Amino acid sequence: MPPKSNKAGRILGRVAREHFVGRGEALRELVALAAPAAPPRSVLLLAAPHAGASELLRQTYDELFAQRGGASPVYFDFTRKDRTASAAARRFLHTFLAQAIAHRRHDPALVPAAPPLRALLDLASPSDYEWVEGLVESFERAQGEGDERSLVRVCFGAPRLAAARGARTLVLLDDVHAAEHLGGEVELGPELAQAAAQAGVPFALAGLRRRLLDLLNGAAALAGPDSTRTIHLSALRDADARALLEHLARERGVALNDETRDLAVQQLGGSPAFISALVGAASAARSSLESFRDFQKLYVDELMGGAIHRRFSAVLEEAAPSPALRRGLLRVLHESATNVGGKSPVEVWLKRLGLDALELERLMRALHAHELASFQATYVEATPGPVWSDFLRASYRLQVSVEPRALVVADTLVEALKRAPRTMARHYRRESALRLGDLLRRFDFQRVPASLLHYDRYARLYRGVPADEVAAGLEAETDLVRLPQIVHSASCAWFHPPVAQVCDEERCAVAHGFDTAAYADSGEVVWVAAEVESKLEAGRALTEVWLDRLAQVAAACGFERVRLWLVAPEGFSADASELLHERGAFGSSRRQLELLAARLGAGVAPEAANEFAMEIPMGEDTELIAAHTVEQIARRMEFEPEAINQIKTALVEACINATEHSLSTERKIYNRFRVEDDKLVITVSSRGLSAPGYVSDNGASFVENHNGHESGEGLRGRRGWGLKVIRTLMDDVEFERVDDGTRLRMTKYLRK
């Protein structure tokens, strides 16, 4: 559950609280730092580039500002614009005082206004006056002495001094990695770590995950099991990214359809920054996101000159300030990216860029921090990823090959459009993968029925047998296999890249472990597992190909004791099973895998689709078509005939209500039928107006007040029974909040 929303509204947040998705847990954790009784812990927020760490801190700030009684939030972001550590320190002190006083006075207007220090002194409440004055005087004294280190310590020591006088703060430091670019005598990273460790108040330090720890000197000063906590912030999960995109599109009036939304989420890698940039661009161009073409046009514009372009360009400028070096950098990056495996030797980089080792290291540090390339001992690897790769390719062609811009734009757009179906196909395949690696990690010396790893045995005993009998049979089996304890598992492709050419990385796993409790050479074993695609039972030839592939991975990696395991959706033919036995390999069907996962405490989503969706036009008795559809579904679920009639009638009434009350201009009703083990859940929604009884959720009384012919009312007075009928016939009836129109959810439970 998200924390209580900020009633005072946004102060620093750029996204409405209700639209800030996918970071609920991190937000709660940061907000909790400020609780009155919370210990003075610090949090290191290690963020991937463009993952939205800044917005998380700003949302934390807004959330805390609205709360009374806890620590006062202070948000400060480091920027290269400060140029020197002392300038950053001065700005910090100013920000600290302005925000602490703003919170303690409950005056949000002070936050952006940030009056001069002496003016802040006048604004401080009597209880704060003494420590604020002391701080300002210390600052002025240190500034007068010209001792930079002393000045930095006075400024970043402000939270400690304030806390000692009863003014507790939570300091949220953003973009801490930028502090390493600030000039001057003082190295800010260790100073910050020191200040956080000694402040006696909670600190949150956020920055790029590849730089933050190094910058803070390994956070040694912060170290301590109870005093520091680390939060990792990566790209949004798909569902959260979809929700964010929908929210932003709605907020900015950009039309969006589901297909384009899903493509955007995949192509932009769930990055909140890129998603926000795209929607912003659509809004500015008054364009919609209702087709792949709409999206890709905006995407290419963003790559060539929009916010995405500026983000990458800024990093390249930071890494290679001179235009000539930047062009050289684009060339070597592009060449690395187009090499097999995306790698190129360090010598090539040194030679092409004309840099010495130290200069190259500095350049690589910037690229590495922003995750655009990795620097290993002897080679450089360009980071894969569609957005960065597209930017790199387009920039290379424009700036290095000096191709006409129109040609580059056209080619990039055409390529992006051609790639879109592949992007979605990849997404669907990834989602449907069985995630063998996750399952392997759960083995942990557990004993399972051998029939779950030998398809022929499973088929002989259980194929076509009711589920409860299968469960009882497995329970009674005495031939058990003791699984190893897996200590590490990862995709085969990470061990042996050529595998990626024949198999998605999620569908093939290498798992290192031990099959004896003692971690000894003799017990060491490597399981190599793969999902085999086959609509029928996998035949011998296909099985042989896959066994050979996995054996090749094992040989290439030098694995000694190896166990091969193949999983085919429908299992294996008799001769394929024979081959598996001959090679000492395991073979399971998807069903076996589900049963195994259940025993190991890991769920594998059932393959069968459990939701039906139907869109019908309003009018012309189309509700009858929906009723006949739900009848078929209810029959399959083995509802009693009377219950089926009730469901049909309720659905008809819901459709009629949607037709009569919505004034929908699109004249469509969206029906969804979700089949669950014990119930059928029907959702009927339409855009347009909400009927009065619907929005207030008091339909029953609305209906009952209008029930009658007995009062002698005419035809009109006999209407409005729909909701009463629905409530009577269904077990649960609920209205879900939607921005536009009405969504009614009705549930009927199976009673067997």
- What does the binding site for another protein look like in residue numbers (CB under 8 A)? 621, 623-624, 627, 642, 645-646, 648-649, 652-653, 656, 707-710, 714-715, 718-719, 721-722, 724-725, 728
Q: What secondary structure does DSSP assign to 240-276, as a single string?
A: HHHHHHHHHHHHTT--B-HHHHHHHHHHTTT-HHHHH
Name the minimum Å distance from CB 641 to another protein: 8
Name the minimum Å distance from CB 695 to another protein: 20
- Closest CB to another protein among residues 237, 718: 718
> Based on C-alpha coordinates, what's the Rg of the chain?
31
Contact 627, 682 (CB under 8 A): no
Question: What six digits make up the tokens of 262?
Answer: 């899903």
Name the minimum Å distance from CB 678 to another protein: 22
Give the three-state DSSP class for 470.
Answer: helix
Name the minimum Å distance from CB 624 to another protein: 6
Name residue 749's amino acid.
Y
- Closest CB to another protein among residues 456, 653: 653
- Closest CB to another protein among residues 482, 709: 709
Name the minimum Å distance from CB 714 to another protein: 8
Question: What six digits make up the tokens of 347?
Answer: 């010598």
- Closest CB to another protein among residues 14, 628: 628
Question: What six digits make up the tokens of 141?
Answer: 């004294």
Token look-up 């589920």 returns 467
Do strands 611-617 and 586-589 pair parallel, antiparallel, or not at all (unpaired)? unpaired
Measured at the CA of 415, the angle between CA 413 and CA 420, to 5 degrees, comes to 95
- Closest CB to another protein among residues 43, 630: 630
In angstroms, the CA 161 to CA 136 distance is 11
Name the minimum Å distance from CB 706 to another protein: 10
* Phi, then psi, of 364 in degrees rounded to 5: -65, -30
- Closest CB to another protein among residues 375, 702: 702
Measured at the CA of 176, the angle between CA 173 and CA 178, to 5 degrees, comes to 135
Residue 488 CB neighbours (<10 A): 12
Name the minimum Å distance from CB 709 to another protein: 5
Name the minimum Å distance from CB 626 to another protein: 11
Per-residue H/E/C for 717-729: HHCCCHHHHHHHH
In angstroms, the CA 415 to CA 479 distance is 55
- Closest CB to another protein among residues 45, 725: 725
Token look-up 């005598």 returns 185
- Closest CB to another protein among residues 168, 648: 648
- Closest CB to another protein among residues 464, 712: 712
Contact 139, 117 (CB under 8 A): yes
Q: Which residues of 669-692 are buried (b: 16+ CB within 10 A; e: fewer)?
A: bbbbbbbeeeebbbbbbbbbebbe
Residue 282 CB neighbours (<10 A): 26
Name the minimum Å distance from CB 632 to another protein: 14
Name the minimum Å distance from CB 732 to another protein: 18
- Closest CB to another protein among residues 587, 722: 722
Name the minimum Å distance from CB 652 to another protein: 5
Nearest to 319 by CA among 499, 202, 223, 181: 181
Name the minimum Å distance from CB 463 to another protein: 40
Name the minimum Å distance from CB 694 to another protein: 15
Name the minimum Å distance from CB 726 to another protein: 10
* Phi, then psi, of 749 in degrees rounded to 5: -90, 145
Report the sign of the C-alpha dihedral through residues 357, 359, 365, 368, in that order. Answer: negative
- Closest CB to another protein among residues 610, 701: 701
Q: How far apart are the first and last CA of the chain?
A: 35
Nearest to 35 by CA among 154, 170, 153, 140: 170
In angstroms, the CA 189 to CA 292 distance is 45
Query: DSSP assignment, residue 375?
Result: E
Nearest to 410 by CA among 297, 330, 310, 302: 297
- Closest CB to another protein among residues 665, 711: 711
- Closest CB to another protein among residues 154, 616: 616
Contact 748, 647 (CB under 8 A): yes
- Closest CB to another protein among residues 144, 712: 712
| Residue 248 β-bridge partners | none
